[in-house]
Amino acid sequence: MTALVELADVHVVHKARTGGLFTRDKVYALTGADLTIAPGETVGVVGESGCGKSTLAKVLVGVQPPTSGTVSFQGRDLWAMPPAERRKAIGSHTGMIFQDPSTALNRRLTVRQILRDPLDVHGRGTAAGREERVRELMALVGLPKALADGLPGQLSGGQRQRVAIARALALDPDLVVADEPTSALDVSVRAQILNLLLDLKERLGLALVFVSHDIQTVRRMSDRVITMYLGRIVEVAPADRVTDRARHPYTRALFSATPGLLDPIDPIPLVGPVPSATRPPSGCPFRTRCWKADGVCADSMPEFSVSSTSVHRFRCHHPVGEEESTRELVGQAQAPPKEPA
């Protein structure tokens, strides 16, 4: 089956925002990302703040050009296409839902105008057909018809996010990427929005990439979970293995600190801060905080290894054993790294 989206050795490097106007510092937001998203699957993305989750999300929907590497939509190199063709491919294959619907929606447009806009831009159907599509989209996300002439400021947070979801679905995409879709919402409506996303995914056969700090929700919603650390994808695991069968020490540490997933344990301590994305450590970026790190880890970034299940991949020179319990690791991690950074 052809992948919906395939990333091959994708790097995104920004000019640093800090260090003044003339800084030559670079931020390595995404480094060597290899990934395929299959039709209909749900993939969660986890990792600490600044590790590149949003960058990966934007690359997947084609709004962030890679500095190098290839992004293919259904086998075609997106960034080798002429710009008009690329815009069409992005519009018809992908939709993106952002964290905060209050800033993602144009406050001066009505709900109807917001939903019509992508249809108009891409010249979909007749004027009457577009009006019908707007009604269909509102019904799809559970928005009452009466809100069609409302402005975003007149809606609740949950309703605004429903508008944003409807807009992402307007052109009938195959892939929807949701970047922290509930973190700006009241706790009371978060579950409704998550359930809506899952329901739409089933009904429309969408692939869904779901970025969140809420590890428990990612684990519950996803088929596969991607762990990122300092711009790198370090593990891709089936959701039912990621909690206690993860092979990368960082994934184990991250999940050990998430309440409600494992029997209560002390979390695996992560020593020190995340290094700067402008000066990532040589070799494996996690080595400065990893209790298993040694000289090999400083020398090179390991290639992906594949676990006993062929869909579980991880990049680590000293992976955790498949049968090793996280509880056992907590004790090991109290010891300092073999080679101090």
Ligand X SMILES: Nc1ncnc2c1ncn2[C@@H]1O[C@H](COP(=O)(O)OP(=O)(O)OP(=O)(O)O)[C@@H](O)[C@H]1O
List of residues contacting ligand X (CB under 6 A): 14, 17, 27, 29, 47, 49-55, 277
Pick the closer one to ligand X by CB: 214 or 244: 214
CB of 49 to ligand X, least distance (A): 3
Cβ 35 to ligand X shortest distance, Å: 15
CB of 276 to ligand X, least distance (A): 8
Q: Which is nearer to ligand X, 111 or 208 (CB)?
A: 208
Nearer to ligand X, 157 or 280 (CB): 280
Nearer to ligand X, 174 or 179 (CB): 179
Share in percent of the chain as helix, strand, coil (round to 5): 35, 20, 45
DSSP 120-158: HHTT-S-HHHHHHHHHHHHHHTT--GGGGG--GGGS-HH
Compute the least distance from the CB of residue 113 to ligand X, in Å. Answer: 29
CB 184, min distance to ligand X, A = 12
Give whichever of 51 and 209 is closer to ligand X, judged by the CB atom. Answer: 51
Helix (H) or strand (E) holding 29: strand 26-37
Alpha carbon 234 to its chain centroid, in Å, reads 14
Nearer to ligand X by Cβ, of 51 and 185: the residue is 51
Looking at residue 49, what DSSP letter applies?
T
**Residue 73: CB partners within 8 Å, gap ≥ 6?**
4, 5, 62, 89, 90, 93, 94
* Nearest of 239, 306, 207 to residue 3 by alpha carbon: 207
Give the shortest CB-94-to-ligand X separation in angstroms. Answer: 17
User: What are the residues facing 237 on neighbouring strands?
Assistant: 225
Does the CA dihedral 267-268-273-275 come out positive or negative?
negative
Count the neighbouring beta carbons within 10 Å of the beta carbon of residue 100.
Answer: 17
Length of the chain: 341
Closest distance to ligand X from the beta carbon of 277 (Å): 4
Which lies closer to ligand X via its Cβ, residue 22 or residue 126? 22
